[in-house]
Structure formats: C-alpha cells, structure tokens
Structure 1
C-alpha cells in the first residue's frame, strides 16, 4: 500500500501556500516534512487527511487509511487515561489498549482523569491513540511538542515499531527524531502569495 501525491496544490484561508507537490510514501517507510513556520506543512497534512480539499492534483489514498495527529491533544477531560483510549479504540473498531498504555508509559496513569495530567502526559496520551486506530498511515504535525527527551524516545520507538509492522509515517517536525527516514522540504513548493483562490471553509480536527 502507498500514499501517492501528484501535482498537489493546497491553500490556507483562501490563499495558495504550496503547489506542484509530487511524492510517494510506501508502507515500511518514514517521510519527514521540513520547512519554516508558515510554509504550509500543516495545510498539506490536513489536505492529505481529507479535512480540506486540494486546489489541484491527486491524492492516491483514501482518508480511511489515515490517522492524523494535529497540534491539539483532543482529549476528553473528564475521562481517565484508559477511558480515553477505550473510547478511541471503539471508534476505530479495535479493543486492546494495553500496548498503547505500555508504549507511552501510561500504565501507572490509567485511572487518572485527563484534566489532571501534565502537558507532557496529555501529549503522550494523545499520541497513544495512534496505536488503537489500526490505520497504516500516520500523518503527524509536530508530535513532540511538550515532550521531554525520554518521551520523545518513546514516540520514536512507537514509530519504528509501527513502520516495522507494515505501517508508514509522514511527520512534520523541526527536531531530529533519530529515525531512518527520507526528508521532503516544502520550501521549494511555496506558491505565489499574490494569486488568491477560494476554497470551502474547513473545520479543525485534533485527530481523525
């Protein structure tokens, strides 16, 4: 299975930000998105996840194959750690949350309400949801925000395990995660900002 992108152009707030993107991501591989703030990485990920339409081009993978993790953790504040993961597991038709708890060192927090967690713990819980989706393609937007060095290591290990098991990951990040990955710099694909366009208003999602 592969994600294929051909001649893709995307917009933010009615203004084109990237154009002419072409790349392929196959299972068993990782692609790191690079580019300065505001260069269109988030817009690209949202478009690939099916949250907004492209201006032009083709995306060769259905959104149902993708798990998208955005800046927000998207947690149910009054639910416990385990209840949050169980909720998402049911949404995606899976049942076992134990590997996710173990991978992100959350077993000791399983009965804690999400609102009582630290920022880093909330981020780990948000990322742990990826493991209960059962989806092969992870699209991740700055996933290590609020994580300490040890937790970054947990995340990197989770990505390695996912890819080794036949998954794939597309990650927008400014830090070196120590992963064996290809890099795509979006800067050369910046669109002409003086050429406005109109696109339907899209809604924000923390996770799909």
Structure 2
C-alpha cells in the first residue's frame, strides 16, 4: 500500500469533524492524525503532528481559520491547508486563501470531492471549484487592483503559457485546459509549473489571485 496522507481536521463543530473522519478513514490511503476545535489548537497540533493536509474551518472561537492558516503556512510550510467554506462565508474564505491556503471546499461536498481534494492538494495541485472561485472573486473584485505598482508578473510568459495562466484564473482544471487548448494533460501540467515559477506564485490559488489583480482574467 502507498504511503498514507496524514490529515488534521479543524472545526468547532464535533459532528462535522466526526463526519469528515468517517469519510476520510474509509479510504486506505487517508488517515486522520488529529483534530482541533479552534485556530489556536490547530496551530499547536499542526506544529506537533506535521500533517500533510489540514481541513480548516473559518469561523471559530478565539483564533479564526484565517489567522490560523497564516501561522501554519509560516511555521509548517509543508502542510497544505484546504479551507472549509459555505457560500455565505466567501469573504472569509478569500482571506484564508490570501493567507496561504491551497484551496477551498464546500462543507456539503460529496465524498468523492472531499477525498479527491485531499489527494490533489497533497500532490501539489490546488482546489479551485469554478463556481466557488467566481463567487469569491465577484465578492472582492472591487478590491483587486488591475494595475498594481511594479512589473506585470506575466510579462515573461510565452503566448501558450499566458493562455494557460488565463485559463487557470477562470478556475479550469488541467483536464479542462487540455480540452480547451487541444493539449495533452501532461503538457498542461508542465505549462502550469512554468507559469507558477515565472509569475512567482506559491501555488495555483496564488496564481489566480495574481491573474485577477493584474487584469489577466475577467469576471464576465
């Protein structure tokens, strides 16, 4: 059996943690190594347990998920954070993304979505459900400067890389980008890696934020 992905669950509602644990541990390659009911405990447990992936609630007593994510990403950079959100918490979720989370997931996600998200983030990808991406960016669009100071991070991209960058900004998966641009998925993955390096993005989510800040994507 392949090495298990170690997961930390963070949510102030015990029933939600129990539900996620049951789903995750039904998979042979996933194991829940710890739980936390607030942000402060999450930071402590992340430091102690060094999990691979953290499922992070946003609204919690004391230290919230945004502050906790920022502290964890700084102190334990190998841990990938997936923010748990609902449509009415978009602004909070976006704050957590800016703090360094690797994606966001709806709390009512289906079993396959949850397990797939954990595996994708652990593998270095990011979780960007298009409908949630659009909702969050719509909500904060007025705060995203389209011409910030400094050089455009996409200035050094090739024409093809720019196409991939813009597709990423719309929340498309590698498979969807491949279909749209008539490329193989392995080729798209290579382009994505080059785009991240050239624009200075820490991950796919950060690349989306940069794309919208610099006007390389529209919210039509």
Please identify which structure carries the higher helix content: 2
Please identify which structure carries the higher strand content: 1
TM-score, length basis structure 1: 0.30
TM-score, length basis structure 2: 0.29
Q: Which has the higher contact order (CA 8 A, sep 6+)?
A: 1
